[in-house]
A and B are shown apart, each in its own frame.
Chain A
Amino acid sequence: MKRLMSGNEAAARGAYEAGVTVAAAYPGTPSTEITESIAKYNNIYAEWSPNEKVALEVAIGAAFAGARAICAMKHVGLNVAADPLFTVSYTGINGGLVLMIADDPGMHSSQNEQDSRHYARAAKVPMLEPSDSQECLDYVKQAFEISESFDCPVIVRLSTRISHSQSAVETGERVDYQLKYYTKDINKYVMMPAMARRRHVEVEKRMLALQEYAETANLNTIEWGSKKIGVITSGIAYQYAKEAFGDVSYLKIGMVYPLPEQLIARFASEVETLYVVEELEPFLENEIKKNGIKVIGKEFLPVIGELTAQLIKEKLLGVKQEVNEPLMENIPLRPPVMCPGCPHRGLHYVLSKLKLNVIGDIGCYTLGAQPPTESLNSVICMGASIGNALGMEKARGAEFAKKTVAILGDSTFIHSGITGLIDVVYNKGNSTVIIPDNSTTGMTGHQDNPTTGLTIKGEVTRQVDLVKLARAIGVDRVRVADPFDIQELKKIVKEEIASPEPSVIISQRPCALLKNVKHAGALKIDMEKCKKCRKCLAIGCPALADKGDFIEVNEALCVGCRLCTKVCSFNAFETSDSAEKAGALNG
């Protein structure tokens, strides 16, 4: 039966059909739904791991033990998991091991747009790249076959438009995969120098064998059309190229590393003009040019952002789509914002009022960098805030630390903030670390994590106690505050930055979008009491509107969190008559 599936759902289905029994991941857009979908299959163990490195280590363990295992993450997650990847490339596997890596060209929801194909070459592992949902399913299954045939992990690379586009998929049956025999094998699995040197030889042999496999693999296909133009392309770029070029010849690369060099040379020799169409880096292009083949690619196509069919037509064929003039100049932008009722809003309001240096991290609270609070100084990567803050303190001294806080969410703290906090204690820093604990992993769409007390399957589990954890690390000053009690929070932050020792403030209030969070219902403004001072607009609530002559509450958006009442000096907010309208935000 044909079903409409996103690339992520189809990849999950592929894992199911391949007989996978262990799946581990840390959520990250656009990869999150792969593991969410896998978790719905009863006969697969699935987990949210604390971070991508642990996730890959769990998957490696399962593969060593003889199971088929899968591990999913976004492109930057692979930076975290790179350490085990480079060495499991040496050991090889036992049961099949597949890594799903989702790139984010255009940075819809990421801090950089690195091209993960470089990892395949650097770690010497094969990489497949599907171009629609059906291929996501098929390639995942084939990746397990390759993994076991060549004794290596296999990466399947997705991108945002593959992960989050839906197309029809023909599903199949799950294979009855039997655990492979497991035996202790020091020479294969213990990577000390003597053994690793021998394994590296195996890696090089394997890459040659894989290159030969690529020449005839059904993953790389030629579609002959007019031979005036040949296009070498892969992944989502293939779809754009098909639309831009129409009836020409295509070499569609399904295995982007290692490349089928002879097949490419044969294809190149039969077409008059050869283009390479790929998103981000000239990865295919450089590999092809290395063999002396003349191709046109990144001299015209951008290395920045996503491609589109129109962009390819314009840059490579000189055909510009006629478009209408914009109907209006200066249409206001609509950047993402913290939701109505978001607990982070109170925290960012306090931080901006105190004019602190706020060293940020990855999560919904990163949105505090936007107007009106503009409260962040820097954001690098998951867990970076604490180390960054300590480094600033060591560079500029203790006085600077008294005006500085690090801020990172509950899930991000567990991911890679704990080690930063240990560094602060160990190396005698004074840093103040604020953990906005919203009882979920918010930005990626509400995944449980070790602090929520629930597993990915919704089972109750032991909950990490952030207060006890911070104390155990050696932080004596641990405070818990409600971000909607602005005065109290402000007092606590002031006390903690002034103290000459490390401190942790847990700013605790659940995400407003969680199902178990009840909302009181919309507020409205008493026009007689409102003095139009506009102080309430400084909290940056999307449910408030400045109508020029008056301020208005958008009752369809307001959830009645009452944060605005805490900053209003005139008591102008009151409960709306239509408070039952609350909850208009319906994902």
Chain B
Amino acid sequence: MMKERKTVIECRNVSKTFYSMAGDNLVVDNLNFNVYENEFVVLFGPGQCGKSTILNLIAGLEKPTGGEIIVSGEKVTGPSPKRGMVYQTTNLFMWYTVMQNVEFGPKMQGVPKKVRRERAQKYIDLVGLKGFEKHFPVKLSGGMQQRVGIARAYANEPELICMDEPFGHLDAQTRYLMEEEVERISNSDRRTVVFVTNNAEEAIYLADRIILLHNCPTSVHKEYIVDLPRPRDYTSPDFLALREQITAEMDNTL
């Protein structure tokens, strides 16, 4: 059954070294994994090292120093609107309204105003920001800003969305809310998502598959397929058991 699925991302022996005056820093070492169409994959690992770099490599913002990344059959050479990104710091265009932020991608590709407005409105409604279209980002709370970031990525209708610890800066309460929100959004608009986090609960709650990463230099340590029924319950015995298992394994990655 697995074999029939279309592969969206293929990482082949990817490695990345940062060169600097202070010395070389090997961040990603011989990374191999695949992501399949419409799959929600969580890259999970402790520490600061490597996870965001992997996303930047997939996005094409950085170039690998070894190996190659293939997205939908094409080698990644630079950023492309086919790959959307949601950032840890929201990175909204502070000088544009919510609507202008969300319609930014389609606008850049010359989508006619009426069509892109409709599309942007659809995603603004989807993330629950109806009525805030004309607000500037400074006037929104952190959680709301992150919703705009998600809507902006979706409105470009990319074949792949990367999320880089999008809720890392939010308080615990908002974080739970946003996790439910992402769950709801990805159910109603199914896309391939690569989600980076260092929070085990978040990973299990959202993922179809969790790739546990090795810390510094980063490589794949172990994979878990999460087949708990959705929406998941943080307190169900299966959830807790898996969490226990992953947290225990995490100590071996350091």
A and B together in one complex: no
Q: Which A residues have a C-beta under 8 Å from some C-beta of B?
A: none
